[in-house]
Amino acid sequence: MIRALHLTKRFSPTGPAVIDDLSVEIFDGNFISLVGRSGSGKSTLLYLISSLDRKYEGEVFYDQSEITHMPMQELHNLRNRQMGFVFQFHYLINELTALENILLPARKAGLLKEKESTAHELLKTVGLDEKAHRLPNQLSGGEQQRVAIARALIMQPKYLFADEPTGNLDTHNGDAVMNLFARFNQDHKTTIVYVTHDREFAKRASRQIELVDGKIVSDEAH
Ligand SMILES: Nc1ncnc2c1ncn2[C@@H]1O[C@H](COP(=O)(O)OP(=O)(O)O)[C@@H](O)[C@H]1O
Ligand SMILES: [Mg+2]
């Protein structure tokens, strides 16, 4: 599980607390949407709990490990083994095919051969098995986002973090992304935290956390 304790984040020493003395527990297998108005701190909170931003007051624990002050090498290992990330603007490598992009984390971990069949399964799951050998610019925006999600899932992470993963997608492609998340959460017990400002997409989660001015104002499971 992830435990965040008394997180406070300011972007400058005298600036406002963008995250304001916030504590939250995320249990294994949780499927969480993080909602709130633009500027309420959703992205910032996601970055803090996922270790991408480590400059804050307070502490974040992954199970028994405190990651806030963890040595960089140890943190890299934790990220590579346990975390997947998806952003609004996917960062696919234009020179690599869809399949090669998905396999990139495996290649970095020296597990290219071992992960090849997983990559093909993921391509099928995201509905792109016919397009495995296309380059990103030969795919639509929605298809590119699905490749980015498959890449985030290739190492079968325990945690998946996504910042507005449906932000650039039409309803149809957004639904496809949400279905994929729901399926991974169910089939693999992947803990998923995603940011969205879309009320309908937010409802797809089994727990909704709402932020106002860097504080949690509601936290509802259903
Ligand atoms: N790098 C930054 N430097 C200064 N202020 C920032 C930075 N990133 C975000 N902020 C501010 O922090 C607040 C929360 O931002 P953010 O977490 O991106 O909100 P959300 O994702 O909910 O729209 C906003 O007021 C934003 O302007
Ligand atoms: Mg944001």
Tens-digit pLDDT profile for the chain (222 aa)? 999 999 999 999 999 999 999 999 999 999 999 999 999 999 999 999 999 999 999 999 999 999 999 999 999 999 988 999 998 777 899 999 999 999 999 998 899 999 999 999 999 888 899 999 999 999 998 899 899 999 999 999 999 999 999 888 888 888 888 998 999 999 999 999 999 989 999 999 999 999 999 999 999 998
Q: Name which residue sits closest to atom 1 of ligand 1, judged by CA.
A: 11
The CA 19 to ligand 1 mean position distance, Å, reads 9
Atom from ligand 1 closest to the CA of residue 19: 14
Q: Name which residue sits closest to atom 25 of ligand 1, judged by CA.
A: 39
Q: What is the pLDDT of residue 88?
A: 73
Q: What is the pLDDT of residue 52?
A: 94
Separation of alpha carbons 207 and 222, rounded Å: 6
Q: 2-221 is classed in which CATH architecture?
A: 3-Layer(aba) Sandwich (3.40)
> What is the reported pTM?
0.94
Q: What is the DSSP string of 46-75?
A: HHHHTTS---SEEEEEETTEE-TT--HHHH
Separation of alpha carbons 20 and 214, rounded Å: 5
Q: What is the pLDDT of residue 172?
A: 86
Q: What is the pLDDT of residue 209?
A: 98
Q: Spell out which residues have Cβ within 5 A of ligand 2, the ion.
A: 43
Q: What are the counts of helices (DSSP H) followed by strands (DSSP E) for the chain?
A: 7, 10
Q: What is the pLDDT of residue 80?
A: 86
Q: Name which residue sits closest to atom 13 of ligand 1, judged by CA.
A: 39
Q: Which residues line ligand 1 (CB under 6 A)?
A: 11, 18, 36, 38-44
Q: Name which residue sits closest to atom 17 of ligand 1, judged by CA.
A: 41
Q: What is the pLDDT of residue 142?
A: 87
Q: What is the pLDDT of residue 15?
A: 94
